Amino acid sequence: MPFKPADNPKCPKCGKSVYAAEERLAGGFKWHKMCFKCDMCNKMVDSTNAATHEAHLYCKQCHGKKFGPKGYGFGGGAGALSMDTGERLGNKECEMSNKPSMAGVGGGSSGIGPKCPRCGNAVYDAERAIGINTPWHKSCFKCKNCGKAVDSSTAAFHDEEVYDKNCYHKLFGPHGKI
């Protein structure tokens, strides 16, 4: 039986009651301090690197491996091709998706506050892209065309979407003979 935040004040990991002195919050759930660790790699997490999925807690790295986009261009570094599915860490099923991940504390659309233009979920200060007036998740603030991460100095906007300056000029800049 899956845990639901509203009808179960117990820790989703161990199923025991959580008292205020030992509680950690993520994804609308209360966790024990010692249960607040990644389901895949078993590392302790904190509010800056916690991600939840169906009452399971992950560090952002493992959440990205298990639920994030896969394929060329989504590697771990510059020019990397990552085919790591996290199997060695206990990940048996991998979802293939190009949808932005729901990483971050309280990443659901039911959250209170401004909504991200890309995914429509609440944007909390800890996960907000810096340097722009419209609230975006850091993980969503990337070029719609190529997926490259952008910041306030490399972003260009068109029809409420964000592009890196190179893609913006290719798609919407002047074309033709001079």
SS (H, E, C) 91-156: CCCCCCCCCCCCCCCCCCCCCCCCECCCCCCECCHHHECCCCCCCCECCCCECCCCCCECCCCCEE
Decide if pLDDT at 168 tops 90.
yes
pLDDT in tens, 1-10: 455 554 457 8
Strand 56-59 relative to strand 50-53, pairing = antiparallel
Q: Contact at 8 Å (CB) between 129 and 141?
A: yes
- Report residue 74's pLDDT band, with 50, 70 and 90 as the boundaries: low
**Alpha-carbon span 60 to 133, nearest angstrom:** 25
**Alpha-carbon span 23 to 133, nearest angstrom:** 33
Mean pLDDT of 102-114: 56
Res 166: pLDDT: 92
33: Cα separation from own chain's centroid:
22
Contacts of 11 (CB under 8 A, 6+ apart): 17, 18, 29, 30, 31, 32, 35
Q: What's the fold here for domain 1-76?
A: Cysteine Rich Protein (2.10.110)
Tokens 């429509």 -> residue: 120
Q: Which two structure tokens, joined as six digits, stand for 69? A: 């986009």
Q: What percent of the chain has pLDDT over 70?
A: 71
Q: Is the dihedral of CA 137, 139, 140, 143 positive or negative?
A: positive
Decide if pLDDT at 105 tops 60.
no
Is the pTM value of this prediction over 0.75? no
Question: Does residue 108 or residue 51 have the better pLDDT?
Answer: 51
pLDDT in tens, 57-72: 899 888 888 887 766 5
CATH superfamily membership of 112-178:
Cysteine Rich Protein (2.10.110.10)
The segment(s) of the chain belonging to CATH 2.10.110.10 are 1-76, 112-178
pLDDT in tens, 117-150: 999 899 888 888 887 888 889 999 999 999 999 9
